[in-house]
Structure formats: C-alpha cells, structure tokens
Chains A and B, each alone.
Chain A
C-alpha cells in the first residue's frame, strides 16, 4: 500500500515551453502532497506543500508564478514549470501523506526534466 506514481518519468523540452508533471496516490487519499527538487549529487529541497482544495504553500525562494501547483483532488497534484529554462533542469519528486496528522511521506519515482 501507499504507492505514489509520477508522470512522466522523464521529459525533454525546449527553453520557453511549459511542462506539467503529475503526482498520483494510487491506493490512498493524500491529504497533503509535497514537491521537491533535486539537482545532481545534491539533496532534496522542498519547493511547496499542497493541500487538496487550497492554495499551495511555497518555500522561500521558490517562485509561485513559475512553478504552478494544483491539488484538485485527494489523489492528484500537478506541478507546471512555466517558461522553462535550462537552469530548471532537475529531478522533481513528489511525496504524499495519507492521513491528517501522520508524518510518513511516500515518495513518487521522480521526473527528470531536461530543458534544452
């Protein structure tokens, strides 16, 4: 149980285009989803926290107009990287918790974004 999927697993796009990444909880309802970014050989950095039906909370330094997060249902959150540039190339990973007040986060497999 507690499986999180992401789609796509990798994407290559041209500079200036927008890319949408989906995060789904497959066998549970995710009250909260988190989006992280990981550059090569570095740690995971929290970008934003998303609760179903409300606006995402962004970490300091993360542009909310560039990284659009939608959490329209208890099983789906999306991250859209708008007007992507090469410096946005990274590994984007989502995670989810399945009950209010629980700590354990289940991670998706990640999406490798390469912007040319």
Chain B
C-alpha cells in the first residue's frame, strides 16, 4: 500500500516569513495529492490539491509543487499570518483507494 512521509513534524516561523512542508510517497500509481489544515478538535479542511498531470499549483499565498519522478510534493505558504497556525497534513491517493495521510506538521507562527 501507499506510504506517505511528512517533514518536519513541527515548524516554527516568524510572522511574514515563508513556510515549507515536504512529503514523499511510495506508490507510483498515486495521482492525487491534497493538503489539509486541521485545527484542534475540528475537521480537516482542504486548502489546496494537485493532480499528477500538473507540476505546480498556486492559490494566493499557498502553492504546491509535485515531482512525480522523485515522488515528492511540497506545500509553500508565503507571508505567514497567525491564523495559519494549525496542523497540516499531506495525503496521497491512488485511484482505487482512500487517502493515505502523512503524520502531520504542527505549524507555529511566531508574532
């Protein structure tokens, strides 16, 4: 089955700086890679996703890049704000299965 590794487990950045979270996956059949933001006790919220036929996608301050050859994808958040503080999960999915999540990154935005 799919295995998703996510780093770092904790990331602390100064407000206004950029944050980068990286994930690798193992199953070359996976073709969909979403990123979720989860606040304590709440449901995961989709913030951006990318499919395997695209190398990069951007939505305002958030961008995701995908390297299919290396089987890794990254989340980039620019101009971080206090409300960006949360746990972020990457995930991968091959067409036949549900999502396999990374272990999560606790992002802390320092004022």
Contact = CB atoms under 8 A, between A and B. Distances in A.
A43 B98 contact: no
B43 A109 contact: yes
Contacts of A42: 103-104
Given A93-B44, A109-B42, A110-B43, A104 B34 contact: yes
Contacts of A110: 41-43
Contacts of B98: 34, 36, 46, 49, 59, 95, 105
Interface string B44-57: 11100101000000
A60 interface: yes
B44 A107 contact: yes
Taking residues whose C-beta sits less than 8 angstroms from the other chain, chain B's interface range is 20 to 34
A89 B93 CA distance: 27
B101 interface: yes
Contacts of B34: 103-105
Contact of A103 (B44, B93, B101, B104): B93
Contacts of B1: 60
Q: Is the interface of A mostly helix, strand, loop or mixed?
A: strand
B97 A103 contact: no
Contacts of B43: 93, 107-110
Interface string A76-116: 00000000000000010101000000011111111010000
A104 B36 CA distance: 11
B105 to A, nearest CB: 10
Contacts of A104: 34, 46, 49
Interface in B38-81: 41-46, 49, 51
Interface centre among A43, A93, A104, A112 (most CB of B within 10 A): A43
Contacts of A44: 44, 89, 99, 101
B89 A46 contact: no
A43 B23 CA distance: 14
A72 interface: no
A45 interface: yes
A42 B89 CA distance: 10
